[in-house]
Amino acid sequence: MLIFLYGPDDYRRHKAKKEIMVRSEKNHNGARPAVFNMENRDDADNFEAFTRNQSIFEATKSAILENAFVMDAAPLAKILKPLVADENTNVLLSERKKPVKELGFLLKEPVVVREFENLAGPEWLSFIKTEAKAAGVAVDDAAMRFLGGVYAGDSWALATELQKLASFKPAVLRKDLDAFDFEIAPDYWSLMNGMKSRDIRNRIMALEKLFAANDPAAKTFNMLASQWREKIPQMAAYDFMVKSGKLNYEEALLDLVLKN
């Protein structure tokens, strides 16, 4: 069986993924699903072997496939298609984007599909209310609408902020938020797309606005890397230089903007 989660809302998609993993462990006596990262060539080979071999300990086996769409579509489809009707092998994929045509079967039954678009309007406010309750903080309607504007399109940052607010007080009013010096965030995804513009002026302008929004540079770098597939090798090289101390993420983003 294949389970396919997709969409730009990383927080809700990641939460659904964790819930599925917990259920899997519960149903398999605490055994965790195998994890294969397709950015690793060895993992790609190991995953194919995993799908062919039957466990001698369990009637069914489970796996998490990370960064599946890094692999070429044709060989990936060849591995995944037989699993659609395989009741003894459960594989979970979680991706930001829809699959390409060769992997279109991931959007059709009997694949279990869940889409996670960024929430807006009443659904977004309902999500804020639910997350506030889960974090243990009561937020009045005015504060909820204000937070909805600040973190529009970024449910992960919204959930993190609610947890921080809960550590200060159990109930938050709109006037309480003034002490936190919030500012309505720019259209995040438009700026991310601006970073990919062919016009260097647009790229520099988008980067300046992202820096001015005070979002962590690491977050911007990783979000950009996740949606700019043709730049994966270049982004990986930047990431290696950052982790080896040769650059920081701000410098990597600036270099990318100037050289793209």
Decide whether 2-115 matches 121-180 in CATH topology.
no
pLDDT one-digit tens code per residue, 6-20? 998 989 999 999 999
- Tally Cβ neighbours within 10 Å of residue 159: 19
- Tally Cβ neighbours within 10 Å of residue 22: 10
Q: How far apart are the first and last CA of the chain?
A: 41
Cα separations in angstroms, 234 against 198, 225, 256, 259: 17, 9, 9, 11
pLDDT one-digit tens code per residue, 27-74? 877 778 899 999 888 888 899 899 887 665 566 889 999 999 999 999
Q: Is it the case that residue 228 has pLDDT exceeding 80?
A: no
Q: How many CA atoms lie within 13 A of 156 on its CB side?
A: 11
| Contact partners, residue 167, CB within 8 Å, separation at least 6 | none
Fold category of 121-180 in CATH: Helicase, Ruva Protein; domain 3 (1.10.8)
- pLDDT, mean of residues 80-97: 93
Two structure tokens written together for 2: 């294949």
pLDDT at position 83 is: 94
pLDDT at position 189 is: 67
Q: Hey, what long-range contacts does 40-45 have (CB within 8 A, 24 or more apart)? A: 44/71
Beta carbons of 90 and 61 less than 8 angstroms apart:
yes
- Alpha-carbon distance of 79 to 183, in angstroms, equals 47
pLDDT at position 208 is: 86
Helical (H) or strand (E) element with 43: helix 41-52
pLDDT at position 186 is: 52
Fold category of 2-115 in CATH: Rossmann fold (3.40.50)
Q: What percent of the chain has pLDDT over 70?
A: 92
Q: Is it the case that residue 216 has pLDDT exceeding 80?
A: no
pLDDT at position 16 is: 95
Q: Is it the case that residue 181 has pLDDT exceeding 90?
A: no
pLDDT at position 55 is: 61
Residue ranges of the domains in the chain? Answer: 2-115, 121-180, 188-259
Pairwise pLDDT comparison (80 vs 150), residue with the higher score: 80
CA angle 40, 46, 48 (to 5 degrees): 110
Nearest to 217 by CA among 207, 229, 202: 207
| pTM of the predicted protein model | 0.68
Q: Is it the case that residue 182 has pLDDT exceeding 70?
A: no
Q: What percent of the chain has pLDDT over 90?
A: 39
Pairwise pLDDT comparison (229 vs 78), residue with the higher score: 78
- Alpha-carbon distance of 19 to 170, in angstroms, equals 27
> For the chain, what is the largest distance between any 2 Cα atoms, rounded to a whole number of angstroms?
61
Mean pLDDT, the chain, whole residue set: 86
Helical (H) or strand (E) element with 107: none
Query: What ranges make up the beta strands (E) of the chain?
Result: 2-6, 34-37, 61-66, 89-95, 112-115, 138-139, 171-172
